[in-house]
Structure 1
Amino acid sequence: MKLKSKQYYIRKSHRYLGLILGVQFLFWTIGGLYFSWNDIDEVHGDHLRSEKKHFPASMNMVSPQLVLENLQAKSQVDSVLSVQLIEVAGVPTYQVRYFSGGMDHAAHEAGGHMPAHSGNVKVQLANAETGEFISPLSEDVAVVVAKNQMANPIKVENVEYLTEVGSHHEYRGRPLPAWAVTFSQPDNCTAYVSAELGTFQTIRHNQWRVFDFFWMLHTMDYEGRDNFGNILLRAFSIFGLFTVLSGFVLYFVSSPSVRKVKKRVQKA
């Protein structure tokens, strides 16, 4: 039985590696072209947003201390994470984020000097002009907030209240609950507004969705998109290296020029 040459096995390995990796290499190439030919600011929807407005310096505001005192009177406040002045549907508003609900294990071990775990962060909105508390955003207020963020808001097609989203949802990884306000134009655009924080969070539109799809193919993270250390990507990277190396080896073992050089060396 005739033994097959080393060149045969190298060529066969290279062929099958190329077949397995070819589709993914195609995805990487198409994705890279799409990324390079698109303005990332447009992908983020910055061109769809209105110019940010600021509060006049002459407006009257109550002290944040008043809001904190009123908050302590009605709720358990372990510590304050932040107090921020935001705008909610044209109303200057204090957004108070605070820890409530006891210390976590690490804080207990440290003698109670650390703030509670981030999972215990709560939010309270208050009118910055009167100090009165504001409830989490209703649908009507959320729509106003979303429209104020749009440069040219068109008719609202749909409003959805989100309490949970899957790992493939376009609003994944952002604060919940939230209102999703979808406009008929432009570009099938949806603005997301956090109900508890009272703030606009992000815009999603068709250009972003295509970008996100190619980004998923690029990272090969079919769950959360951004895990560059997933096993599938590592495996394909190693196989890709083997494919390239096998191509170099195949060239050297099959090239007539290389064989001629070897014969000259042997004769010498």
Structure 2
Amino acid sequence: MKFLQWLHRWTGLILLIQLLLWTVSGLYFALVDHHGMSGRQHYQPLQSEPLSQTQLTNISASWWDDLSGVTKVHSYTTQGLPRVEVHHQDGIRYLDGRDGSEWQTDQDFAQQIAQASYSGPGSMVRATPIERTRELHDWRGQGFRIDFDDDLNTRVYVDRASGTVIDHRNTPWVVADWMFRLHFIDYTGGRNFNNLVAIAFAVMTLWFALSGFILLVKLLNSGEMRFTLRKASLTASVGEQQFKFNDKAHKTVLQVLQHNDIAVASGCGGGGTCGFCTVKTAPDTPITVSDRAQLSQAQLDEGYRLACQHSIETLHKVEVPAVEARKYALQLINSRFITPMLKELRFAVIEGEGEVEYAAGQYLQFLIPAGAGRSRPADVPEEFAEEWHAIEASEFKHDSVRRSYSMATAAGGNELVFTVRYQPQTPGAPAPGVGSSYLCNLKPGETIVAEGPFGDFQRLEGDERKLCFIGGGAGMAPLRALIQEELQSQQPRPMRFFYGARNRGELLYTDEFVALNNLNKVSFTAVLSEPRKTCQWGDAEGFVHEVARAWLEQQDISEYDFYICGPPRMLAATLAMLKELNVDSARVRYDDFGN
């Protein structure tokens, strides 16, 4: 689909250029009359006279005895000289009326003919023998081009064989000729409207229309395309407080609430996959696919819906659950790349803001300010340079957005630690890459505002079951915090941790978990899906959910609670695997990033 969008965009650009050419050339044809484009502004017809009786007597039929199928014989004078024009089945033959020889037009005589057909103020400056010219589309043969030094740069073309004026050309004609070429996509100048270029443009236009229709259907199905820019109002009740907001009708309830500083949990950034942004409205409100996937039937019957899946044009009044969240000003203390595309950021709460009280597994929403964002961070280590060679730095403007990141450590420290996976930046909000590019380019000492904490991806308390963690990529952050929190308890439960990455270079905090594994505190298995030949790993290869399944099939799975976090495909595959093993859903906790 991305290639289709790319090809559609460039095809549209080419067609737009041709549309501009049509517009310019069309205006030219509308403003310039036919005479001004003809090239014959100084043309006058040659005067031809019939032959005298004496001259006719001299003409002998034996002159064209070698011709077959003679249909017409025409005799006249050209510049006072008798000429005979014989039409036969193979063409036309021109004879000298004085002796029956082939008619010959030398350069001097060609100049006389050109002068006779010219009525302008200029004088002849040169005569050039020619055999072909781009200014005469259908003529081939031998002839002369006679140039005049008038204001139009007139050129008279004379045919050697017939001694006739083929045509006049000048600068206005050249301009008109190019306008015809541009307007009819006939760049050869042959006046052929079925040329290869025109056919290619027709095919390209058909492709543009079909691909545009396909992309339109995709946008309509995804709900990303709205047809209204009308204003609408939203009334939101938060506890005993009531607020009324007016905004663009296509905006979602979640966008309006967040824009007006109403704290609403959202882990997936509005993708409809985390199920956190629930609000209560009228029970007869239409139910979306995401509503049905994330909420129970009892919740749907009571009127609960996902705020990110409904616009304020269709949902005018909501009750927003009160959450214990507030805004904090954070200052970056340190940052470092721990994989080629993932950066660890350490923040401290600015003095006077208070401490962030959170539970392991929760997250903060970072308020990415509107403005210019830089695509490639400046501090990419040399060891990761190969991974970044195709990513260039770029600047563009974007609207303010919110991005959610889980704490990567348990509560109780002096710093808030996050792991941010870089995504290439693309224009538009809320486009992928805006938040990660901004955060990855923060320098120590710079500040940012975050709101929270949010989320219920927390440990199941009061249970003696063992813990099984399955994660991948940036899903390490909340899983690491949960493991640290469990280790801080008086009697840590047995823990098994399967962590997947593409190759060894993308593994996070490996040394830390290998050390915990050696101390028998956490049984740790790293799984690589695309191990490099030059960098083998000794734990396991394949997909992390498949390795975890092979182990679970040898265990009593009723002894375990499960915690899962990672990329969408990995998460979906792991949840499906646990369902196939008949694991009770009440013992499965997961965090859906949604992107």
- Aligned residue pairs total 229
Q: Which has the larger radius of gyration?
A: 2
Counterpart residue number, 2:227: 256
Higher strand fraction (1 or 2) = 2
Quote the residue 2:9 is aligned against: 15
Question: In 1, Cα distance between the equivalents of 2:228 and 2:58?
Answer: 83
Counterpart of 1:185 in structure 2 is 150
Deviation, structure 1 residue 218: 2.8
Q: Aligned partner of 1:208: which letter?
A: W
Contact 1:125 1:198 in 2 (8 A): no
Structure 1 distance, partners of 2:36, 2:74, is 28
Q: What residue number does 1:205 align with? A: 170
Distance 1:126 1:153, change over 3 A: farther
- 1:85 and 1:255 map into 2 onto residues whose CA distance is 77
Moved more, 233-242 or 180-189: 233-242
Residue of structure 1 equivalent to 2:85: 95
* RMSD of aligned residue pairs (Cα, Å): 3.8
- One-letter identity of the residue aligned with 1:206: T
Unmatched 5+ residue regions in structure 2?
230-248, 250-284, 289-313, 315-595
Give the match's secondary structure for 1:174: coil
Change (3 A) 1:247 1:28: farther
Q: Distance in 2 between matches of 1:236 and 1:135?
A: 47
Does the alignment pair 1:158 with 2:158?
A: no
Residues 1:216 and 2:184 aligned together: no
Q: CA deviation at 1:122?
A: 5.5
In 1: Cα distance, 2:213 partner to 2:80 partner: 64
Greater relative contact order: 1 or 2 (C-alpha under 8 angstroms, separation 6 or more)?
Answer: 1
Among the aligned pairs, what percent are the same residue?
Answer: 22
- Separation in 2, partners of 1:207, 1:248: 45
Residues 25 and 86 of structure 1: is their aligned pair in 2 closer, same or farther, counting only changes over 3 Å?
Answer: farther
Shift of 1:220: 3.0
One-letter amino acid matched to 2:184: T
Show the 5 A alignment for 1:49-68.
Answer: 49-50=43-44, 53=47, 55=49, 59-60=52-53, 62-63=55-56, 66-68=59-61
Question: What letter is aligned with 1:88?
Answer: T
In structure 2, do the counterparts of structure 1 residues 84 and 50 end up closer, same or farther at CA, with 3 Å as the change threshold? same
Match of 1:41 among 5, 13, 35: 35
Q: Indicate how the Cα distance of structure 1 residues 93 and 80 shifts in structure 2: closer, same or farther if over 3 A, else same.
A: same
From the superposition, tell whether residues 255 and 131 of structure 1 become closer, same or farther in structure 2 (CA, over 3 Å): farther
1:12 to 1:223, Cα distance in 2 relative to 1, 3 A: closer
Name which of 220, 228, 232 aligns with 2:197: 232
- Alignment partner of 2:59: what SS? helix
**Does the residue aligned with 1:256 lie in a helix, a strand or coil?**
coil
Q: What residue in structure 2 maps to residue 126 of structure 1?
A: 96
Name the aligned partner's letter for residue 227 of structure 2: P
Residue 180 (structure 1) shift: 0.9
Structure 1 residue 18: deviation in Å?
A: 1.6
Secondary structure of the 2:138 match is coil
Structure 1 residues 175-197: Cα deviation after superposition (integer angstroms, max 9, x where no partner): 52111111111411111111111
CA contact (8 A) 1:215 1:225 kept: no
Q: What's 1:172 paired with? A: 137
Range with greater deviation from structure 2 (230-239 or 241-250)? 241-250
Question: Structure 1 residues 61 and 244 mapped into 2: Cα distance closer, same or farther (>3 Å)?
Answer: farther
Question: Which TM-score applies when normalising by structure 1?
Answer: 0.69
